[in-house]
Structure 1
Amino acid sequence: MGYTSKNNRRPFESASKASHHHIINDAEVQAVMKRLEEPPQADDVSVEQLIEDFEPSENNPVEAIIAVDGGYTEVILNKDFPSRTIHFLQFGALFFKLEDLAEIDSSAFIDPKDMAKLKKIQRLKLALPTRNLCFKDSRTLKDTVLKAIYEFCLNNDLDEDKTLIDTLAWFIFRKYKQGQITEQDKCYYLATNPLSPDGNQVRLLEAEMNIDYSFNCPETGGKIYLTDIFRLHEVIDEETGAAGILGYLVNVIEHLIIIHLIRLLYNKQPEMLKKVLFIKDGSTGFFGQTARLHVPMKDLVNWLFNKHNVLLAGLEKSGAFVDHAQNMQNQLQPGKALIAFLGLMRYT
């Protein structure tokens, strides 16, 4: 086992790997290895029927691109108490015109002024206590984290007249349907009430939502925030902390920013929905505790398809899908494309 030094009393020592060969050669480990089924390699799969000629459209409708990305960094507040941590999350929405990108691509030399056209970034920041910390007006880490996420969505608007949490209400309660909203659209069933001692389900009615986007808990009388529908309270532990929610949180806020911008276009220039491509960093799916949000996302996307349009793509730079693509790339010649259906089925 490795250890670190406090007050420089002894040198840092990483965990030794000298005995790893005993694990590799262990009979039980070998037995497990023999039972594992490895997926076939590209050379063992026939993909000819999935390969098609790629012919760029002569009339590309896309005129602008909006790319949304998020990330986080851990910071130890007190070096004498390293188990107290806070994470800084930052989200960026980058807007640029396709003609600016094409112009730069064709230039032999890139002028810094040209690059500035591609850096119209809106940045949002969130400081999130994640272990052994809480706000002065909160009793637990869970209360602190849920309040921080709620206040982040309540106070950020990307320089528009509506905040992120107002967009969340617009999204969850299907307000974009206007006169076609059903009674089912006006309520949301939260699988676990964050204030319930027994973790009971709670029904959130739009008509009972307070002006600050909160609901009165039927069991305790406390506040349930609209952002609690992310269900991140289910994976916050007072002892081990809240670091486990960060991947889910970044993903859901990236989605929320895109929905916020879609709402802006939908209300002010709906015809632009056919001309703007949204690119999200990572998959366009919802996972873990946030997985149920795929239902209202599917409703929104289908509504836009029927009424206007929406152009949305996810960009993955690592993971199983990227490994698969790299494994397949040698089978593709220039001007060819491999048709895959996984990404197309995220919202269907």
Structure 2
Amino acid sequence: MNTFGTIFRLTSFGESHGAAVGGVIDGCPPGLELDMDFIQSELDRRRPGQSRITTPRKEADKVEFLSGVFENKTTGAPIGFIVRNENQQSSDYDNIKEAFRPSHADFTYQQKYGIRDYRGGGRSSARETIARVVAGAVAKLYLRRLNIDITAYTSQVGDIALENDYRIYDLSRTEDNFVRCPDPDIAEQMIKLIQEVRYQGDTIGGTITCVVKGTPAGLGEPVFGKLHAMLGSAMLSINAVKGFEYGSGFSVVARGSEVNDSFYNDNGRVNTRTNNSGGIQAGISNGQDIYFRVAFKPVSTILREQQTVDMHGNDTIIKARGRHDPCVLPRAVPIVEAMAAITLLDAYLLSKATALF
């Protein structure tokens, strides 16, 4: 299952220490002008080595489009692209090639396939998300036509967290700091915590919040194609994601009188006084802001000794080497946005296809 989407589809390929990673975007409508600088800027937000709180691996991550584009516009044909790997250090993984790293993909991949690429995790590496960011950037360009805007930000690192209500923050400040948090004071605390954890040879998890503005009412299906289920599937497919909640989420366990979003006539437009539903009701968008939160676990590769077993069933001790993120959140922000964009464009195109019948 290397393909995501129904009409707007992404198939990704490649491994962390292979020649390249890339993808094929199918179902993109023709005539969309591609802003190559914007697409590259989205990749730059995801690339390694961009700050002192990310992995020092140096990759330019320059995208090369191979097909489906003519005179800078999409043709409707499959859009093929690659990003070449340039800075692998495969020898960093020699000491763990027969050992299963705790909470990593090593054991499950070995059980499923009987073979695994131990160098950087192979296919399970987060470098696979490069393809998602490229496809997400293309989707964002189309969503701009529909006045749909997607912004994600780091809302929690460890026990340092923002308030849940995104409306109290200036989300335009998200890119002002390394951790991509719209509150500069909280951002400094988060950065300090990540640096402390990194110095200790450890890692830390947290939460990313995503806000989608401008979504029209009517996207999503009432039974198996619920919009929030589509978004949940997209987010839970991202490396290291352990949880997804939208709207009021788990805090919705209250009285109906406290969480129901009452309607009112807003100058001829149906509006809601609150948005506990997170912009989605009965699986279909209602025109309000869509907002959700995504929980990321700490990076499994830590620079400490850990107990494990090897491929032969022997108890052993491993200590990882190499260049790793102490916290995935800063680089995961554009990935969350990308998967949201792919999902929403797919839902939009599905709604247009449904309208034909």
TM-score scaled by length of structure 1: 0.27
Greater gyration radius: 1
Q: Which has the higher contact order (CA 8 A, sep 6+)?
A: 2
Bigger fraction of residues in helix: 1
TM-score scaled by length of structure 2: 0.27
